[in-house]
Every structure is written in structure tokens, then in C-alpha cells.
Amino acid sequence: MDAECDVLLRDGGIAQIRPLRTEDCAALHELIERSSERSAYLRFFTGGKATAHAYADRMTGPDYAGHALVASVRGRLVAVAEYIPIPDTGRADIAILLDDAVHGQGLGTLLLEHLALDATTRDIHELIADVLFENTAMIKVFDDIGLDVERTVDQGQLRIAIALRQTPRLLERIQARDHEAERASLARVLTPRSVAVIGAGREPSSTGHKVLRNLIDGGFSGLIHPVNPNAAQVAGLTAYPDVRHMPGPVDLAVIAVPARRVLEAARDCAAAGVGGLAVLSSGFAENGKAGSERELLRICREAGMRLVGPNCLGILNTADDLNATFLPTTPSPGRIGLISQSGAIAAAVLDRLGACGLGVSSFVSTGNKADVSGNDLLEYWEDDPATDVIMLYLESFGNPRKFARIARRVGAAKPILLVKSGRTGSGGRAVQSHTAAAATPDTAVDALVRAARVIRHDSVQDMIDTARLLATQPVPAGRRVAVVGNSGGPQAMAADAMERHGLAVPELAAGTRHALAERTRPSAALGNPVDLTADATAGEIGYAVRTVLADPGVDAVLVVYTPPFGSGLEETVRAIAEATRDAGKTVLACLVGRDELIDGRVPAYAFPEQAAAALGRAADYAERRARPVEEVTPTAASDIRAARAVVRRDLAEHPQGRWLDQVATARLLECYRIDNAPSLPVDSSDAAVRAAAETGLPAVLKATGPGLVHKSDIGGVRLGLRTAEDVGKAYAEMTETLGSAMTGAIVQRMLPEGVEIILGGVNYPAFGPLLMAGMGGVAADLLADRAFRVPPITLAEAVDMLGELRCAPLLHGYRGRPVTDADALAEQVVRLGHLLDDIPEIAELDLNPVIVTPTGATAVDVRIRLAPASPPDSPMLRKLR
């Protein structure tokens, strides 16, 4: 570990962890002095504090052979942890000393996690701790870490050996600890007992006054403290010049002062021990003042305060009657949790939800998202009893990989709805591979949210439509929909829209049709849709709805009513409510021209296409949620160390990165047992002739050169060369045609005919790697038949990925073609995914084509571009971004 990072403690506080420095010597001695004699004894056994002080000098001296981390809380060094390698053993001794004041806050576990990760980078595979039997707290830390632990007794002490191998428990334990800390830290912000409004002006039109008024009018039961140095009272409440003069602690401070005064206010809050800030003020990174925003975050982190904003609307929690926003109205209580980076979008969503009869459990406007993000709020809402559905409007992902991990877990129980703005192309990035050209950043977002089981929407209106259904109805048990109503046109539109969204409108059971015929008019059409005609009464519509709900071949029912026909809107709505009260199945309605909520639980849409789209998204979510989550395991057929060595050597010679030559490419693929046709590089006609004799005939000749992507288009590929003379002649002709663009060629043996597939990958610094499979060969770009995933993936996911392709039937014997070894292709996809995930320096990669035959799947043309890259944060490393 080379840099400082912020971490969340079990109680929601914040600590800083960093490597020990020489100048920490005085702070170490102060830590020892604050420690009790018992703490010093448990850490150093004999000698007490005298031994501890002497050891502190050695740790900060020039001959210290260990690796040590220190932790600080509110600027004070409160812990030190170290490991000292035992030479030539792959083992290291470990020890931790905590300030008595931070016992029980999970800091010892955090330090152990960070030490363990650091040790693995230095080829340490086992940590050894000698612990007194009476040191039960430290023994529990070691036992609960999630790694394999072995105990032995040695000279009256307990020796604990911790194997640094990832176990199925480790990530689960780390995520559980992270979740507990996140919940505690956001509880300070979302469920405060006291709120200070800094900048609470007396003018009703001012932002601070609006926040204060909303807190009062919303019925917040905690303490409300206006901060205004120029007033004794604001809105009938005692005002204070600053937070330091307030009686008692403040959990949340809402800052609504000009940007130039925000840092001063934040420092006052830090000195007063405020739990968290919501900074409404603009004028930070969004206005080019990123330095001020970084300083604001630094103040908050060092003081242990979570920060919402800056440049935001504020915070709302209807369960606690907390409205710390400057919204013009107070949203109704409901079961939806909402986060939005855009204040304008948030206000519109809240207004629209209210118009449809829905409310929110809590809402956070994150603004510039300097600290609190969607990831944090997903953790909070995961087990929030007031929240059933989560809506996200995001403009960026702070930590996409962490988002995917959290969302996959949360989405298994609560639907997560997302609108992500910024559907742009690849931002003008110069790419030279088929995969990178196809895999835009927005494609990466789609793959990311798909892997996380998140429901992505193209518009805010679509998201609201889906939320209305999922917040009020059970998810559909299947895709079979019955459409019942009084208007043939809208019902036909509904049926068409259902099919477009992957839903079925099947024929109803004979018994259902017979029951319908008994109590509907002769002119009614009793297929599916069930058109009761414009004259149908409310009673007839209600009866038909109950009847089709009882059909075992129906999973959901859409009721379509066009007012004012039949019994009229009011009576028909009552009939729908009564008929669906105990439905047990998904029910939704289309009241043509009206968006509302029937009986507080049946969503009604103005147009049938809205209803069909919402139901289709709900059905997709239900299917994804029902699939068991398979854990991705490292492929046995890989040599990660050898692959990293190949990359390390090449980047040492070419620091800016490059397209790998054929030898390095083949070596890298071999590390992951990715089947690649043997290729011999050549630089002359004579060399090509000799190579063909070695590879065998018939042969293939392919030009090489840094700019040669679509080689077939410019005469850079010659197939079926049957004699050595043909190979030599082809090289000469190719050289004449391509000129200086051709720097050489490769010779391969011609493979049997098969299905041509492209496999590829691209690495986006913000998102990580993206894996692609599609129709390959010269048709790769023309047909754009592609599927994407975020690697690594399981074999089952690889099979699903290939099954999405329109060309998939070609792999399975389409129209008498030979059945190919599709399993071998899927295995190649899995291995390629591991390669991309393990080696972030792979910027672009194309295997095009991979020839899939009845006996295997072999890549015959491979291009890999390396570029310098920082390793991604380990999921085992707990830290705030």
C-alpha cells in the first residue's frame, strides 16, 4: 500500500489509513502513552510501555525490515499495524496496536485486511500472529476475517497462522462489514436527531429559509437550529452565529451560503463534531473549481463527516418527516428510494410520482457527488424497511465495478431502476480494432447494468412508468398476458406492443372463453384480447377481469378502458378495483388519456404502449432475478504470472504501449490456453516459402503492419495457397500492393471451413474491461451481430452470450450445416474474459475470426494492443472513493 485512503468504521466514522512514515515517531510515542498498561502488555507481552517505546523508535528507524500501516481519526494517530517478512519462507509476523478509544469500531479488522492485501503483493502467503490467550478481542479479529486460520499453542501462547488465499467467505465477510459501516455513516445523514441550517436567511425567497421552512412545515421532530450571524431569530426559532455556539450535538448541517463561505462553514462544522453535511451551494467542480471541492471533501473526511453535494437540492426522508431540501412542495410518503445527480430531474420525478399517486421513502440529491454516491445509497436502501423500489438518475459512475457488485446483491430483493445520461460514442478515441469501434462507453454501461440486474431506461418517463408498476404490484410470474377492455383499437395496439417487448398474448383456455361467453354480450370478441365492445358496462368489465385472472395460462392482466363509454370512468374504475383486489397476479390498466393509480395499487397508464413497456421490463427483471447467481472461479487453464511477465517486459521496452507482435501475442494467448492457429512471421518471399513448408499446405498469407485493420479490403489476405511457389508469389504481390504499410506477414496452415466468430475486448479506464462476441470475418462490421458482457463470466453466461447472436443457429447445424463444437467456443469466451480481467493493460483485443468447426474453435487472426494501466481496486480493499 503506497498511498493514504479513507475508510469507514463500524459506527459510521471515518479513519485514514496510510503507510508508516519516519516522522510518525512522535505520534507513535503519544499513542503508546495514551494506551493502558494492559493494552501495551497484550501487544508487547513483557516490558510494558518501556518495551513499546523502544520498539516505536525501531519501527521509524532506518533499519526497520517490516511494512507498517497507521490509522488516524480526526487527525490523531490511533493505530499501527505491521508485518515483518520471515526471509525465504513466504511468511510474515503480524501485530496490531489500537488506541483504547477506538476499540470495537472495526479498525483492527480494516488494518488486517489492508495488511493482508499488501503482503500478497510481496509474495507473502501466510501471516503469523503470536497472541496471548487473554487477548480475546484480537483473537476474534483473526477468526472473523474470512481467511483460513490455523491455531497452535507455542510456549504458552496462541500462534495463529492466516493463509492469504481467497476463500468463499472472505468477499462475503468484507461486503457485510462494508455494508454495516455504510449504513451507519448514512444514518447520521438520513435519520438525524438534529439539523442545523447554515445560511438560514430571513428572506422567504432565500434557499436557506426555504430549507428551514420545509423542515418546520414537514413536521421534523428533532431539533432545528438556524445559523445566521445577523439575526436572533429566524422563522420563530433561535438563531446562532455558527454551529460551535449551539447547545448539544448536531447530526446534519445543511449549508446554503455562497461558495466563497462554504469552506469556512465546513471547518466550523468539523470543529463542532457535526455528523454530516449537505452542501446546497453551487460554484465548485461544475464551475471549474475542482480544487475547492477537493478541499471541502478533505475537511469532511478528516473530521469524519459524510458529504452530500455540493451543488444539490438536499435530503428528504419521509419516514422521519425530514425535508432538508428547498423543493417547493413536500413529496408524499411512499415506497420508492430516489437518488438524482440533477436537481431539475429530481424535482420533475418527484412531481410526476406525486401526480400518479406515488411517494418516496427517501430522496438524496447528490449534485457533484464529491462523496455520497449511488453506491452508498444502495447500501442504505438494501435493508431499509421503508423502501421497496430504487430509482437512480446518474450522470456518472464513481466506482462502476463496486456499483455492479452492490447492485447485483440489492437487486435480488429490490428492483433498481436506472436512467444514465450521456449516451455518447467513444468520445473520439482513436481505435484500431473491430471490438473497440463497436464497444462504446454506453455499451459498457449496458453490459455493466445487465450483469448487475439493474433495469436501465432510455428516459425518465419510462423509469417512472416502471416504478409505478413495481412499487404497487407483484412482479409477473411469466410473460403470458391477457388484455381485457372496451376498445378494440387500443387493445390491438396493446397486443402489438406486448409482443415487441417480449410478452405473449396467448389464446385463453376453453373454460375461460366459455365462462366469458355466459355473461358478456354476443358482439364481444372472446379471444385474447378480450374486446367487450364500447357498450360494455362496468360490471361486465369487472367480471371479465376476474375470469381471465383465474385462467392458469395467464400471468398478468392489462385492463384497457376508453372513457366515457359504457358505465363511465368513475364506475368502471371502481369495478376494476373490486375485481383485482385479491388478484395475486400482476394487474395494470390503461385508462386512455389518463395516468393515475387505481385504488392505491393498480397503475393506470394513458397509453397502451406505456403499459406494455413497463410490463416487459418487469418481466425481464423477474426472469433475471429468478436465475441463480453463479460465482466466477479462476480458470484452471491459465498462468497469470506468466501473462503478467509478458506484459511487463513489453511495456518496459515500449512504455507508451503498442500493438503486440505475433510472437508476444501468441505467448500471451498461450498463458490462458486460448487456441490460436500456429503462425510464422516472415519478412520476404523466400521466408514465406520456407514458413509454408513448415506449417503445411494449403497455406494462408496475411500482411502485418500497425495500420492494417481491414486487411481483406486492401489485398492483405490470401487464402488457399496450394504450393510453395504460390506463397512466394503472393508475398511479392502483396508487397507491391501495400507498399510501406506492410512491414511483414504471417503464414498459417489453411484451416477447414467453419463458422466465423469474432471475440474481442476493450478496456475503459472508468469501467474496466468489456468482452464481445459476434459474427466474425468480413461480415463483422456489416451485420453488427454482437453481444457484450463484463468479464469475468461463467461458462453458463458465455453460452447465454453466444445464444443472443443472430448467427447462433449456424453453430448448431442450421439448414444441414455441420454441428460445431460450440462448447469449445464458449470455453474460449470464458478464458478470454479472464485474460481481460486479469490484465488491465490490454487496451484492445480482436480474435477475428475464430473458426468454429465440429472439432474445436481456433483463432486465426489476433490483434492485441497494450497500454499502461493502473490496476483496478481490489474488491477485497475497503475504502471510500
Return the higher-pLDDT residue of 747 and 874: 747
Do 476 and 415 meet the contact criterion of CB atoms below 8 Å apart? no
E-assigned strands of 235-342? 237-238, 252-255, 276-279, 306-308, 314-317, 322-325, 333-340
Nearest-angstrom CA–CA distance, 249 and 168: 42
> Which amino acid makes up residue 504?
A
Per the listing, cell 436527531 goes with 193
678-750 has which CATH code? 3.30.1490.20
Confidence of residue 630 (pLDDT cuts 50, 70, 90): confident
Q: What integer pLDDT is reported at residue 766 of this predicted model?
A: 76
Q: What integer pLDDT is reported at residue 42 of this predicted model?
A: 80
* Mean pLDDT (whole number) for 28-55: 84
The helix-helix angle for 25-34 and 48-59 (nearest 10°) equals: 160
Partners of residue 73 on adjacent β-strands:
76
Lowest mean pLDDT among 209-223, 295-309, 441-455, 742-756: 441-455
> What are the pLDDT digits (tens) for 214-233?
999 999 999 999 999 999 99
Confidence of residue 428 (pLDDT cuts 50, 70, 90): very low
Q: Report which of 217, 238, 213, 218 is spatially closest to residue 227, judged by C-alpha positions.
A: 238
- pLDDT above 70 (res 433): no
Q: What integer pLDDT is reported at residue 92 of this predicted model?
A: 97
Partners of residue 559 on adjacent β-strands:
484, 589
- pLDDT above 70 (res 434): no
> Which amino acid makes up residue 449?
V
- pLDDT above 90 (res 301): yes
> What are the pLDDT digits (tens) for 169-224?
898 999 999 999 999 999 989 999 999 999 999 999 999 999 999 999 999 999 99
Q: What integer pLDDT is reported at residue 437 of this predicted model?
A: 63
Question: Which cell numbers hold the place of 750?
Answer: 489453411
* Mean predicted lDDT score pLDDT of the chain: 92
Q: What integer pLDDT is reported at residue 431 of this predicted model?
A: 44
Nearest-angstrom CA–CA distance, 758 and 780: 7
Lowest mean pLDDT among 508-512, 614-618, 629-633: 629-633
- pLDDT above 70 (res 499): yes
Partners of residue 392 on adjacent β-strands:
339, 418
Judge whether 5-165 and 331-475 match in fold.
no
* Mean pLDDT (whole number) for 569-574: 97
- pLDDT above 70 (res 536): yes
Q: Report which of 545, 535, 551, 540 is spatially closest to residue 488, judged by C-alpha positions.
A: 535
Confidence of residue 448 (pLDDT cuts 50, 70, 90): confident
Q: Report which of 469, 682, 646 is spatially closest to residue 558, judged by C-alpha positions.
A: 469
Question: Which cell numbers hold the place of 169?
Answer: 467467505
- pLDDT above 80 (res 283): yes
Domain formed by 331-475, architecture: 3-Layer(aba) Sandwich (3.40)
Q: What integer pLDDT is reported at residue 427 of this predicted model?
A: 38
> What are the pLDDT digits (tens) for 765-788?
778 899 999 999 877 777 789 999
3-state class (DSSP) for residue 603: strand
Q: What integer pLDDT is reported at residue 778 of this predicted model?
A: 74
- pLDDT above 90 (res 633): no
Q: What integer pLDDT is reported at residue 324 of this predicted model?
A: 98
Q: What integer pLDDT is reported at residue 627 of this predicted model?
A: 85
| Fold annotation for 640-675+754-881 | D-amino Acid Aminotransferase; Chain A, domain 1 (3.30.470)
Nearest-angstrom CA–CA distance, 313 and 318: 16
- pLDDT above 80 (res 293): yes
Nearest-angstrom CA–CA distance, 338 and 363: 5
Lowest mean pLDDT among 640-644, 684-688, 706-710, 877-881: 706-710
Lowest mean pLDDT among 68-77, 630-639, 678-687: 630-639
| The CATH homologous superfamily of the domain defined by 479-622 | Succinyl-CoA synthetase domains (3.40.50.261)
Listed by start position, the domains of the chain span 5-165, 171-312, 331-475, 479-622, 640-675+754-881, 678-750
Contacts of 360 (CB under 8 A, 6+ apart): 316, 318, 331, 332, 333, 334, 336, 337, 338, 350, 353
Do 838 and 854 meet the contact criterion of CB atoms below 8 Å apart? no
Q: What integer pLDDT is reported at residue 438 of this predicted model?
A: 63
Domain formed by 5-165, architecture: 3-Layer(aba) Sandwich (3.40)
| The CATH homologous superfamily of the domain defined by 171-312 | NAD(P)-binding Rossmann-like Domain (3.40.50.720)
Nearest-angstrom CA–CA distance, 9 and 6: 10
Confidence of residue 488 (pLDDT cuts 50, 70, 90): very high
Contacts of 541 (CB under 8 A, 6+ apart): 484, 485, 486, 532, 559, 561, 566, 572, 575, 576, 579
Confidence of residue 457 (pLDDT cuts 50, 70, 90): very high
E-assigned strands of 166-241? 194-198, 223-227, 233-234, 237-238
> What are the pLDDT digits (tens) for 80-98?
999 999 999 999 999 999 9
* Mean pLDDT (whole number) for 335-357: 95
Lowest mean pLDDT among 403-407, 491-495, 602-606, 872-876: 872-876
The helix-helix angle for 822-838 and 795-803 (nearest 10°) equals: 110
Contacts of 80 (CB under 8 A, 6+ apart): 20, 28, 31, 59, 68, 69, 70, 71, 96, 97
Confidence of residue 538 (pLDDT cuts 50, 70, 90): very high
